[in-house]
Chains A and B, each alone.
Chain A
Amino acid sequence: MMNETLESGQQRRILWLLIVVAIAGAYLYILLVGWQLFVRGDDIPGLLDRGSTIPAVRGAILDATGHYLAVNTVQYELDITPRMLSGAQIERLVPSLAVILKRQEKDLYTEITNSNKSNYVVLGRELSAQTGRELFALEKELLNDTDKGIKFAMNAFVIAPSSSRAYPDDGIAAQVIGLINKQDVKTGLEARYDNVLSGVDGVRRNLSGQFFTRAGGYQPVQDGADLVLTIDRNIQAEAEWLLLEQAGVSETKSIRGTIVVLDSHTGAVLALASSPTFQPGRWQEWADQPKSAFINTAVSSQYEPRATFMPLTIAAALETRVISTELTYVDSGEMTLGGQKFINWDLSTRPAVTTATLTDTITTSRAVGAVYIASLMGSPRFYEMVRRFGFGEPTGIDLPSERAGDMQLPGSPNWVLAFLGFHSIGRALTVTPIQLAAAYGALANDGVLMRPYLVSEQRSGAEVTVTQPYRVRRVVSAEVAQSVTRMLAEAVAQGQSEALVPGYRFAGISSTTGKPGFDNLPRGVPTSAYIGYGPLPQNRYVVLVWFDESPPAYFGNDVAAPVFGKMVRYLMDYMGIAPDATNEVN
């Protein structure tokens, strides 16, 4: 009886034990199946290793014709682990490496054998892609060698690739593209579009555990998008060449210069050349270059526009209907506004009293005329028009470090009425070259201001994002714009022979400008500028030439106008715009 009770109790316990084991087994089985089939690697903390990063390839920067201006390339580093190599293997390796690395066998042999206890020896750094290909071929050959005495271990021979930035055209548009160095310092488009160019690194992580190892946690790499610029490298190269070699910085001994070529209808920048500049691929030389080489003059330098501002004053007055195109006034050579006397720059050579037209005002840069017109307009209308032309605020061009220009406005503590006179002749205010080019673009584009831009497309795989030209606002009516254009064209025909290009009609004006704080020429530090657009009547292209500190020749008509003429002639040739025989004089 007692035995029966005992056996019955044992059976129950065994049964319970089996049930518990079965439940535990089923739980583990379900867990295992779940892990295998349904659970993502990322959801199991502690089982993930840190994984390895797959670096994204930085996007390339191309010009409007599809040529690479900046592109990533590959460099290789060759590491050898001598302690993993036998004498026979080293004997086999050295002659082949000497040929590929173009080094002496003896040197290589010494380098490898003398560091026998090292974990690894770096035999080459910054090796080219072609050298990398040859090394990979050698590695394959060594790994597959049938002679077991020669066959290499996988880790004995490491070819480590890394990306670096290459500039096939050796620094064309360097200021625009900007630089990128190993300390992750970026400027220009490299900085502005860094998030687009960088892409997203990929991650490869392996699940590791006591019982299983499997691939998991793979996040594909997303390479950076390519940027296609509005800049045409041929026009850009010509502009840079003009600045440096032809008649620009070296010849005039200017310390800085810039040439801007804009498509007035869209705002697309065809060339944005600045000098001095730098070689983006040769960072070893950067320390020897002046700091100004890294400043994009066209967007970050400010200067007094002076005479180049007068046509804008006239356009503003015409638009506000304060004057008509038929206006004539008596020019006595001097005028007082707000207690400040304004004098024509050529008062000593010109008759003191003449009757002048608006075209005369532009042709001979009569300060009296511009001040008189501004006084008729009054401050509110004048400054409203100045703002509408885009001064006092950045143009919004897609480059970093763009400056807005400086100007005292009514209401600010230092503003007095005399400023109205100064501003009407482009003094006591500063603008950037790109601001001025954009404002003249509005005159060329029948009064509509377009935002200048540099990137026309972003290409990420098959996805292409096209930049649409951005119309900022209508500044003046088409009639006013055309009237001022005719005056400017007349000014070119009458007095600016250096800027003339046979067969083409261009509207333009020169300026011998000054930098803030330097009033009296030639004792001050002059800057020379010429801005124009054409060919009429389409007015497609705006060209601005500006030189900073260009003594002894400092008149805009002597320094900047010839370069303008050469730039325009090249542009017309390059764009295939035939000369018009009727414009032979102009």
Chain B
Amino acid sequence: MKASRGFQDKLKLIVIHKLLTLVGTGSVLFAVGMILAVTVTNYKNAKDNATVYSNKFENVYNEGAKFLRDETLQDLCKQILNYEKDTSQLPYMIYEFNASFPMQVKIVLSDKERNIVYKSYSDMEWDFYRNSFNKAICANAFLVGLDEIYSSVYYFNGNASNYVMSKPIYEYGITIGYLNLYIEDQWEECLYNAEYEGIITDYRGRVIHSSRQSFITGINKFEPESNQSIININGRRYWQYRQELEEAGVIIYSLIYYPRNNSLLFAAVGLIFLMTVWWFVLANVMAESMAQSNSAAVSKLVKEIKAIGEENSSYRITMATEDEFAEIGLSINQMLDSINELNLKNTELLRINNITEINQLTAQVNPHFLYNTLEIIRNLLIFDSKKADSLIVKLTQILRYSINNSRKYVCLEEDMLYIKDYLEIQKSRFEDNLHFAIAIDEPCLQCIVPKLLLQPLIENSIKYGFRKKMKIQVGIQGKMEGNILYLSVTDDGVGMTKEEAESLQQSIYEAVTESEHNGLHNIARRLYLLYGLDSGLDIIPMETEGLKVVIRINLERGMSCTK
């Protein structure tokens, strides 16, 4: 059982490995998905919020810029600065503008020395600080391009800041004054539809508007410590999105409160951990049971095969697993069957070969044949010593050929020489009572056949022929039809009935037979075992008297003599 235990462990390892990879990728994907979901949501919210802010701001900026660039206003300011008109028309224009503008604005008109010419602030509101600041703004506005607007942020002492837009007034390309627009912080009301926190600053970090007072650090400043998406403000975590409005010179920070939710993080990590543990346990159990069920079949197979080896070779595997292992069992059974068959075949071939050899040897040293031949030679020595001499030569050749046991297969041509010698000897014995005719087609002679193939047939014909008749004829024919070599021995002896022939035909292919036609049986079995099913022996009774025995050899698997 050690082998199958190893297989089971291996199987389990594979399953665990695969499942753990699955669990690992699953956990990673889950975590990544969670992070992505949060990131995308925050990013989108922050961006949408920034869009609300920037749309509003751009709107305000554009309106303000349009007002400052308005030619009527510019002309009026020029006239005022040139003392051509007094300031009485200015308030009207400002009121008109204020009516359509979403926020309260104040106007300050300064001359080129930056002294106040007109201001819509009251004297109470207009203090030294505002005055100095306005001068500083004008000084900076002096430096901007011809149609440009300088923007700044006014702030003092805890009050809400003003976004200031300053437009220098030119006459013949020379600055003659400054028109400053102070936009008061009423963004809160304008931005009522912004869902999240937001801060508007200029490029120097001066806060124009902040949805929360606590975002402001230092003196009206907001400068996040980093450009990263997540920033800390007063210990609170925010997701940050920045948008820049280049023309207005402002940066919009959209902030989504994004607390480091430890309990959520713990829950997520815990969940992943528990899932991993659960999957791991599950994987283990599954791997165990899968490996067990699979290895059970393997164990059975191993046991069955062992039974074959130890008990007997006729034992066949029985598998009731109805899977590939059952098929393996079946295949092994089939393999065992064919091995067995082959084994039997080989054993029989060996046995028949032995018998044939013995028979052949026996045939050559057949005492009757030898005795008869020697008797003939003795008689001839008296009457015809020349013929006796030729007979002795033939007998010697026969003896040499048959005793030479080194070759089992020969060319048909060679075998026929032997047959001819044999028939010559027989003819000298029976004289005119025995006639033989040999008609072998030329191609047949080169075929390789078992040695002494035809001899038993001829011997039979002569042996049985002379039992009932005084005169017999033996014919030996050979022809090729495709790959099949037909050799037939025909005699006109007693023959046999059709029924006898059929029963004989059947019996000669049986593995074991006890009939008197042992010779035929041996030839037939030998041909079958050597050349396969389509080779063999056919016994054909002649219509008149006599019998025809046909040897059929499929030479596809055979060889031919090479000269």
Do chains A and B interact in one complex? no
A residues whose Cβ falls under 8 Å from a Cβ of B: none
B residues whose Cβ falls under 8 Å from a Cβ of A: none
